Amino acid sequence: MYRHRFLPLRSSALLVSLLLIFSSTLYAQNTTNNEFDIAANYAKREEMIPMRDGVRLFTAIYTPKDSTQKYPVMLTRTPYSAAPYGAEKYRLSLGPSPAFAREGYIFVYQDVRGRFMSEGEFVHVRPHIARKTSPKEIDENTDTYDTIEWMLKNIPNHNGRVGMWGISYPGFYTSTGIIDSHRAIRAASPQAPVADWFIGDDWHHNGTLFLPHAFTWLARNGRPRAKPTTQAATIFDYPTPDGYRFFLDIGPLTNANAQYFKGEIPFWNDLMEHGTYDEFWRARNILPHLRNVKPAVMTVGGWFDSENLYGALKTYESIEAKNRGIYNVLVMGPWEHGHWASTDGDQLGDLHFGAKTAHFYREQIELPFFNYHLKDKGTLKLPEAYVFETGTNQWRTYDAYPPPTAVQRSLYFHANGKLSFDAPTSGTAFDEYVSDPAKPVPHLSTISTGMKSGYMAEDQRFADRRPDVLVYQTDVLTEDVTIAGPITASLHVSTTGTDADFIIKLIDVFPPDMPDPEPNPTGVRMGGFQMLVRGEPMRAKFRNSFERPEPMKPGEVTKVEWTMPDACHTFKRGHRIMVHVQSTWFPLVDRNPQKFVDIYKATETDFQKATQRLYRSSEFNSLLKLNVTSR
């Protein structure tokens, strides 16, 4: 077994990422997994599969020893290692869940080009080439095609059908693999797939940098290799458990290289050189290329996925729009990044969902989907969208998503911290706060490094007491309010600076007499709990264009509008709807100097306090647009 130096993990997002990376390096020799012995039932071989340009990709193939029937192939392409390496060393589990090995499939794991034991050059989110000018021109789509062609000719006992799946980065490779789909691909499931690394996935959200995620992931995975290797990623040794203090002490982002990376992380350097939605980022947006998709597709995501919620929703949406008539469904559950594959899914932090939602997904949705399309087994009655509605803790099914029956309603900001579906009627009115980048609003109440994914469901009471957070809430609801679909923040604001960030947090406030859970291991008090339903930042200089940022004019009322990722949630009768408005969310979001500069080149003297105003008048109103459904 490979040995690694593990440091205390203070971030669940980091833990999930580490599991995705390192779990593949564990192997079993004549051991059991969920009472199923992989080594006893599967034969393993390793191959270097040649691509059209001569580069060879390391591929591990697990074939059932029972040759009395033919099996479909489940293909996963990954930058996180196809380990364990060595024909006698077996993975602990095969496929999307242990049920797949018992069911009987051929499993193929491949190191993508330039990673671990594969040859060639690794390119992050390698751009898709829609029109190739040479027979040897490659991208991830051609590597998928060439791999499948080789498999069909060289793997015995297959039934001619291929399924693809992957979570996170491997989800991206699943998406790229089904463009102009190979005829053998019959089913694919991009799960939390990377879609666009500038607008809404991983490193960036609406032009802001998700600092601890980018820093930690690239510190661990970003150093180039000299040659093919079995060596897994290393862990960055934080000098303190306090991520808030660590990233504040770094100062301007230019110091990250000076203090830690020393210019040795190429993609961090790319981040620092491409601060707008330029060709570098546009080329890495896979969404425009999801055409000529032929297999059945099931896109999977989690409402509390801090990394690729955007990617899941937009991948489904793009495939639906560009490939009319194909079998294309969406599954969204109450999960963190990848947790549908590895947990019970019955709770997240202090929230309890009343059932083992991940078990339900794996047994009643995922396995039947692949069995039906790859084996002609069983019946499949999946709706267009199978989504979990938080608040009521119910699975909902829709014939289209977002549900076309939803009605857009506007929730307006009013005086004295009030929220209402009624528009304001007063003249000029505003609320204001001073935003100080030297004392930013934390995104967590706890001490953590990395990007703790649980922030997406955390109790927000720690933040609403700060003077630099505006808080608005409705009266106690007399009936349920259910939303399903995207949320639009439309603000009229001004600043004394020339740039600003605005963060909107949509919150469900529980009744003051809400009972505590039983058992209650965390000691949480649910009376008055402020559940974060959705939070999303916007960098104001990108308000009109992500390609061409524009400064704010000090003191001038300016409209800043952006779309937040979807939510499917019921604010129950007796609860309140709350909204927080703030300009820092640290260290999750990098600090804006509040001065119109290239933030990745900013110096300490560029950072300044600014007074932000939120207008809430009949002339300049501020609101959230919600897609409200009825039952």
Looking at per-residue pLDDT, the higher value among 536 and 448 belongs to 536
Extents of the domains making up the chain: 12-195+286-292, 407-629
- The rounded distance, in Å, linking the Cα atoms of 387 and 246 is 38
pTM: 0.94
- The rounded distance, in Å, linking the Cα atoms of 522 and 44 is 44
Mean local confidence (pLDDT), 478-491: 98
- The rounded distance, in Å, linking the Cα atoms of 605 and 307 is 32
Predicted pLDDT of residue 26: 40
Q: The domain 407-629 belongs to what CATH superfamily?
A: Galactose-binding domain-like (2.60.120.260)
Contacts of 279 (CB under 8 A, 6+ apart): none
Check: CB of residue 111 under 8 Å from CB of residue 78: yes
Predicted pLDDT of residue 609: 98
Mean local confidence (pLDDT), 385-400: 97
Contacts of 436 (CB under 8 A, 6+ apart): 468, 584, 609
pLDDT in tens, 161-206: 999 999 999 999 999 999 999 999 999 999 999 999 999 999 999 9
Predicted pLDDT of residue 336: 96
Mean local confidence (pLDDT), 56-67: 98
- The rounded distance, in Å, linking the Cα atoms of 519 and 502 is 38
pLDDT of residue 25 exceeding 90: no
Identity of the residue numbered 458: E
| The residue to which tokens 């720690």 are assigned | 462
Predicted pLDDT of residue 185: 98
pLDDT in tens, 403-445: 999 999 999 999 999 999 999 998 779 999 999 999 999 999 9
Predicted pLDDT of residue 17: 42
pLDDT band at 287 (very low <50, low <70, confident <90, very high): very high
- The rounded distance, in Å, linking the Cα atoms of 80 and 533 is 31
Task: Please tell me the least confidently modeled range out of 56-70, 228-242, 500-514, 559-573.
Answer: 228-242
Highest mean pLDDT among 7-21, 24-38, 234-248, 581-595: 581-595
Give the containing element (helix H, strand E) for 435.
Answer: strand 430-435
Predicted pLDDT of residue 428: 79
Give the number of other CB atoms < 10 A from CB of residue 472.
Answer: 25
The encoded tokens of residue 166 equal: 């992957």
Predicted pLDDT of residue 579: 98
pLDDT of residue 284 exceeding 70: yes
Report how far apart, in Å, the C-alpha atoms of 543 and of each of 251, 335, 563 are. Answer: 26, 30, 11
Predicted pLDDT of residue 231: 85
Predicted pLDDT of residue 14: 40
pLDDT in tens, 323-367: 999 999 999 999 999 999 999 999 999 999 999 999 999 999 999
For domain 12-195+286-292, the CATH architecture is 3-Layer(aba) Sandwich (3.40)
Predicted pLDDT of residue 4: 28
Q: Give percent above pLDDT 90 in the chain.
A: 89
pLDDT band at 450 (very low <50, low <70, confident <90, very high): confident
Predicted pLDDT of residue 11: 38
